[in-house]
Amino acid sequence: MPTTLKYMNQLRTQELITEIKRRLAKKQDIIQFMVMPTITSEMVGDVYQYIGDTTATYKNGDFYRVVLNPETLDPEYKQITYNKDEIDELIDAAGHFEVVEELPTTDIKTNVIYLVPKKQTLDGYVDSTDDSFYFPTGDETTPAFQKYDVGGNFVEDVTGADAETVQANIDDGTFTAETKTCKVGQVNNVKDEYINLDGTTAGWEKIGDTEIDLSGYVKHEELVAITAEELEDMWRTTGILNLSTDTVAVAAEETADVDVTSTGAIVLLVGDTDVATAAYANGKITITGVAIGTTDVTVISSATEDYKAVTATIAVTVS
């Protein structure tokens, strides 16, 4: 039986690209501050787009947005403006951001300042929200700026890729480069060589024949496309636990010399990667960690003289 080799076909490659995009989406950011324009008399009563879907109305010498009173459900105006000093303070607090340029918007009365991580040149964005900064008005439910994920000149520009198994033959003249076919009456590794001179069917001209060592090549029937499950397993071997809602078996290790009624710290591992911490108490392991649900697992091993290795099969749901 011939050896079977796996390759990434178009579907698996697209799944891989999608996963790479998802993992890198939050690694680098563009942040947008939208500064309210200078007040002029003709602006009174106008409504301006402020942040995301929020609109701001200029009224009584300031900008406001309409909110519902939680008790009466009546609409009320809430102040949402801030000045340049307050923006500078937010930039300083972030530390690792800098203003790179001021870009025009469709509203010439509004000035938009874009920030990017220092020493990086990035462009393109898709809308998302960061709740780490707030309007300096005491309203800690409204983010002070909109956060954007990088799009342009990045992996998001990739729309697809493909890898195929093919068997080349001289066809209707669409090839314009050299191609080869088996030489009639000879062994399979002796090839006639042709070149197309003008891109037409009649343009093919034989230029000779040669013997080619095919021992290092994989045969067409020996290639099998990788499955989605195998691609998933490739990610799992890296120790990264955020692929899907599947469950993963994780080993819990206790490095203290304790008995089953003691309390200690436990580190959950996938390969050599720490993925969560757990509390060990009264024969139970309680798991806590990023993107990992809390659960209890019964300890199934006992203490040794110097070292206790608590090994349990833990079903961890990842997302």
CA-nearest of 234, 255, 222, 248 to 313 is 248
Predicted pLDDT at 299: 36
Instruction: Count Cα neighbours of 234 within 13 Å in the Cβ-side half-sphere.
Output: 14
Question: Per residue in 51-97, pLDDT tens?
Answer: 333 444 555 545 555 666 667 777 665 554 444 555 555 555 555 44
228: in domain: no
Question: Per residue in 185-208, pLDDT tens?
Answer: 555 566 667 776 766 677 777 776
12: in domain: no
Domain range for 270: 241-317
CA-nearest of 306, 251, 259 to 281 is 259
Predicted pLDDT at 101: 40
CA-nearest of 85, 65, 16, 57 to 228 is 16
List residues bridging with 298 in a β-sheet.
284
The answer to whether residues 149 and 36 belong to one domain is: yes
Asked if 289 and 313 count as a contact pair (C-beta separation under 8 A), the reply is no
Residue 152 region, left (φ>0) first, then alpha (ψ -120 to 50), else beta? beta
Supply the pTM of this predicted model. 0.24
233: in domain: no
Task: Determine the residue type at 105.
Answer: T
Alpha-carbon gap, residue 80 to 56, rounded angstroms: 8
Mean pLDDT of the chain: 49
pLDDT above 50 (res 300)? no
The answer to whether residues 54 and 101 belong to one domain is: yes
Asked if 115 and 35 count as a contact pair (C-beta separation under 8 A), the reply is no
Asked if 137 and 36 count as a contact pair (C-beta separation under 8 A), the reply is no
Question: Per residue in 235-253, pLDDT tens?
Answer: 555 444 333 333 333 444 4
| The pair of three-digit structure tokens given for residue 51, joined into one six-digit string | 């942040």
- The residue to which tokens 């080869």 are assigned: 180
Asked if 64 and 140 count as a contact pair (C-beta separation under 8 A), the reply is no
Alpha-carbon gap, residue 263 to 244, rounded angstroms: 32
List residues bridging with 227 in a β-sheet.
none
pLDDT above 70 (res 173)? no
**Dihedral angle sign, alpha carbons of residues 234, 236, 238, 241:** positive
Predicted pLDDT at 212: 65
The answer to whether residues 184 and 249 belong to one domain is: no
Q: Exposure string (b/e) for 132-167, b if CB count within 10 Å is 16 or more?
A: ebebeeeeeebbbbbbbbbbeebebeeeeeeeeeee
Number of domains in the chain: 3
Question: Per residue in 205-225, pLDDT tens?
Answer: 777 666 766 666 667 677 777
Rounded mean pLDDT of 121-129?
33
pLDDT more than 90, % of the chain: 0
Alpha-carbon gap, residue 316 to 151, rounded angstroms: 32
- The residue to which tokens 């024969």 are assigned: 283
pLDDT above 70 (res 108)? no
297: in domain: yes
The answer to whether residues 246 and 192 belong to one domain is: no
Please tell me which of 27-36, 270-279, 293-302 the model is most confident about, judged by mean pLDDT: 270-279
The answer to whether residues 149 and 184 belong to one domain is: no
The answer to whether residues 148 and 252 belong to one domain is: no
36: in domain: yes
282: in domain: yes
124: in domain: yes
Going by DSSP bridges, is the β-strand pair 247-254/314-317 parallel, antiparallel, or unpaired? antiparallel
The answer to whether residues 213 and 246 belong to one domain is: no
